[in-house]
């Protein structure tokens, strides 16, 4: 569990992947875009959907559903690309089925991730946030898009530690 991420802000952006709701700390969210044309880069894993043009910069877009073992994200009217900024300054876009709202969740309302009971790799989850009697899984985006995903190949000891330590 990353203390730093928690202390940054108590606000979290909730979004939907298939039937489940997740959240991530707003401090890392740069902007939210509509699902536009994504240009696929050949010979890359399926969850690396490609790149988009973000005001003149080329930004990679990753399919979180595929990363979590779900089926590929479809392009619907509610689909959004959430542009996040990772710890090392890398900027990536994340495909979501829908973006919901910004929630206030205090640190004492967040419980550690359960060891079992979820299909997901528990390393990806910072914790379970309680909001209105619902539990929302708060994602650790730095961990999810670790190392080879964003091309940081372990030469960065701090990130290496964050991912593996």
Nearer to other proteins, 42 or 117 (CB): 42
Quickly count: other Cβ atoms within 10 Å of residue 125's Cβ.
20
Q: With respect to other proteins, which residue has the nearer C-beta, 26 or 91?
A: 91
**Which of residues 20 and 50 has its CB atom nearest to other proteins in the complex?**
50
Within 18-97, strands assigned E span 20-25, 29-34, 48-54, 57-63, 80-85, 91-96
Q: How far apart are CA 150 and CA 112, in angstroms?
A: 26
| Residue 42 engages other proteins in binding (rule: CB under 8 A) | yes
Angle CA(75)–CA(78)–CA(82) in degrees, nearest 5?
Answer: 85
Nearer to other proteins, 114 or 154 (CB): 154
* Min dist. Cβ of residue 74 to other proteins (A): 17
Single out the segment in contact with other proteins by CB under 8 A; choices: 12-20, 70-78, 107-115, 143-151: 143-151
- Among the listed residues 4, 8, 34, 41, the single contact to other proteins using CB under 8 A: 41
Binding to other proteins (CB under 8 A) within 105-134 occurs at none
Contact 41, 48 (CB under 8 A): yes
């Amino acid at each position: 569990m990353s203390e730093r991420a928690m202390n940054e802000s108590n606000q979290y952006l909730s979004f939907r992947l298939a039937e489940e709701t997740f959240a991530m700390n707003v401090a890392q969210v740069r902007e939210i875009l509509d699902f536009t044309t994504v240009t696929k880069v050949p010979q890359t894993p399926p969850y690396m959907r490609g790149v988009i043009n973000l005001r003149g910069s080329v930004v990679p877009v990753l399919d979180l559903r595929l990363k979590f073992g779900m089926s590929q994200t479809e392009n619907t009217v509610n689909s959004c690309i959430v542009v996040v900024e990772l710890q090392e300054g890398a900027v990536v876009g994340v495909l979501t089925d829908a973006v919901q709202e910004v929630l206030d969740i205090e640190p004492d309302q967040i419980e550690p991730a359960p060891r079992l009971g979820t299909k997901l790799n528990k390393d990806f989850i910072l914790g379970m946030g309680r909001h209105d009697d619902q539990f929302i899984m708060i994602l650790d985006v730095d961990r999810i898009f670790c190392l080879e995903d964003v091309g940081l190949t372990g030469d960065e000891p701090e990130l290496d530690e964050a991912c593996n330590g």
